[in-house]
Chain A
């Protein structure tokens, strides 16, 4: 059943892929099939009946594979309608995918070696969705590929016209020269390196010392046995001094490793802005250069470290949605900067400043979940362990630290619905401030875990494009009704922020010249 009956004579009925596709798909599997033949021959040892069975089995397997590929081919159709592309596929599990014309970002044609030999081509329809395999026609004849590209690009001409118009406007208003925005000189780089002090290396060094100790290299007793027994006194003192020495060495190494790593990565960090794009370069041995287009920016994030943040330093990061020539994920536009230096970067990124006065707090019960996970559970584990190893009980002395952090969490977590964006602050030790324009929120989820349901709480999760990892702008542990209210007002603001897609919306944000 097709969603729309063709009325316009120019609309063609659903088409199948080129039948040679079956052959193209079978070819990569052929070498392994050929390798199987001698294996089968040796396995049956050339015995008459067994050989026949093996060959019949092989033929049967090939026939079944062929039938399945044929069914797949038969089940796969595509149709270009005036406002969308419909791809239907599947034998038992039928899926009909509709890609609205407005969502088509690009139509690319790819040709592998085999495809080129057969005059075939793979057509990819990119929509900027989360999935890589959104619209793939593998494969059609080359003529059909060109026809499709022309047709699909024709469908989105309206969008293209709008886009070029906005771009032309932007080109007029902005100059060609780059504005340098931020750079990190050597003294600051070294200062930054001190905060990148690496604890992991200290652990590694202690591990190594432990290992060497076990391998008898540092068995002081053996050496001291050679000396007089009266010098045992010295041994105790020596051990204490040695321990202090090792700690000192580990700390020193941690600092040095942090410094070296920072210098290697961030040496001569330079950030500039021109024509709606940030460009930064850094690195000592391998110099990386990254271009971040302003319209690809999905959200801004200011991170303040546990120590450096208290001393007034922070990092400004943006999350970008990648496309064919742009990187995706979190980009550090300023790794170590003062708030006054970050401010202009935020403006250039097209984001409003983070206003902490507007922040509303979450439920006080926000501490409960953290207490359970990082205090109660470890305490139980330690107590059980101390039944077998009494020394383990000393670990209980460390627990007040996570307890304090957990109890402070509600005070360090807040959110605000600003005019054009959502602001979220979270983190006790490492503080993070997110700024997410409403237009870049893809979906909102209200999540209630078991404990949260008992306490009448809910978490509002914000899904954005290009984000990876756990640190999203989620708002944890709001009271039930507040969470529902927040989710609904967020959705309304997303809707009001313009139904058009975000990249188009961002083209309309003021260009450089207007800001400065």
Chain B
């Protein structure tokens, strides 16, 4: 990675597992569809079972094992008390900076997979258009609440 705007912290390792599970679920759905297609092919054209399923399983396994960690590594964040930095993206890299003073409201959410991995998602809402929701997944619940409380404190302290 070239010129860093600010040193970034990686996400929790637990989030890597969340990404893996999500990727696996996505691929398993594809495998199921491929298996049905295989079944139909075998019945109608008499091909070997696994003609479609095989490649899908291989691609899915490769993607889940090798590509997902790459995607996970691209994520990074930094909270400096004045702004939140969120970096992401594999082909196109994005580094978003939200000044704390521009935050309208804050969500902390946790889905079932995230909960079992011990991570949470922090969502900052601004009045903007394209970046009205800045999402930071894969940080611990405690850290998310810390950042939320810090931001709320900063907004409340605003001088008039």
Contact = CB atoms under 8 A, between A and B. Distances in A.
B93 A453 contact: yes
Given A101-B156, A461-B130, A443 B96 contact: yes
B109 A93 contact: yes
Interface stretch (B1-9, B13-21, B39-47, B54-62): B1-9
Contacts of B92: 447-450
A98 B156 CA distance: 12
A29 to B, nearest CB: 26
B108 A463 contact: no
A480 interface: yes
A241 to B, nearest CB: 53
A131 B106 CA distance: 12
Nearest to A488: B5
Which applies to chain B's interface (DSSP): helix, strand, loop or mixed? mixed
Interface string A78-97: 00000110000010111111
Contact of A484 (B5, B99, B128, B148): B5
A129 B132 contact: yes
A38 interface: no
A472 B157 CA distance: 31
Given A3-B149, A130-B126, A443-B96, A96 B107 contact: yes
A235 interface: no
Contacts of A445: 94-97, 131
A442 interface: yes
Contact of B128 (A92, A162, A464): A464
A130 B128 contact: yes
A463 B95 contact: no
Interface string B105-147: 1111111100000000000011111111110000000000100
A95 B126 contact: no
Contacts of B112: 92-93
**Which residue, A94, A99, A442, A461, has most C-beta atoms of chain B within 10 A?**
A442
A127 interface: yes
Contacts of B105: 97-100, 103, 127, 129, 134-135
Given A129-B104, A481-B3, A484-B3, A447 B109 contact: no
A488 B129 CA distance: 21
A495 B96 contact: no
B85 to A, nearest CB: 9
Contact of B109 (A3, A94, A129): A94
Contact of A129 (B95, B126, B156): B126
Given A130-B133, A443-B98, A491-B83, A465 B159 contact: no
Counting chain A residues whose Cβ lies within 8 A of the other chain, the interface size class is 35 or more
Interface string A454-468: 001000010111111
A443 B128 contact: yes
A367 interface: no
B125 A131 contact: yes
A186 to B, nearest CB: 37
A443 B104 contact: no
A84 to B, nearest CB: 6
B132 to A, nearest CB: 3
A104 B124 CA distance: 16
B145 A3 contact: yes
Given A127-B105, A491-B99, A500-B160, A93 B128 contact: no
Contacts of A494: 99, 101-102
A251 interface: no
Contact of A453 (B2, B99, B127, B154): B2
A465 B127 contact: yes
B82 interface: yes
Interface string A415-439: 0000000000000000000000000
A130 B156 CA distance: 20
A449 B94 CA distance: 9
B95 to A, nearest CB: 4
B128 A499 contact: no
Given A96-B108, A484-B4, A102 B128 contact: no
Contacts of A3: 145, 148-149
B95 A495 contact: no
A383 interface: no
Contacts of A487: 5, 95, 97
B94 A446 contact: yes
Contacts of A97: 105-107
B24 interface: no
B155 interface: yes
B109 A443 contact: no
B106 A134 contact: no
A495 to B, nearest CB: 5
A444 interface: yes
B133 to A, nearest CB: 7
A98 B131 contact: no
B132 A94 contact: no
A466 B155 CA distance: 22
A504 interface: yes
Given A127-B105, A131-B133, A464-B129, A100 B110 contact: no
Contacts of A101: 156
A103 B134 CA distance: 17
Nearest to A482: B3
19 contacts: A83-B156, A93-B111, A95-B107, A96-B109, A103-B155, A128-B127, A129-B132, A130-B129, A443-B126, A448-B93, A450-B91, A463-B131, A465-B126, A465-B129, A487-B95, A487-B97, A498-B159, A499-B157, A499-B158
Interface of B: 2-6, 82-83, 91-102, 104-112, 125-134, 145, 148-149, 152, 154-160
Given A95-B109, A443-B102, A465-B128, 15 more contacts: A83-B152, A95-B107, A103-B155, A128-B104, A162-B160, A441-B102, A443-B96, A445-B97, A450-B91, A450-B92, A463-B131, A480-B2, A481-B3, A488-B97, A491-B99
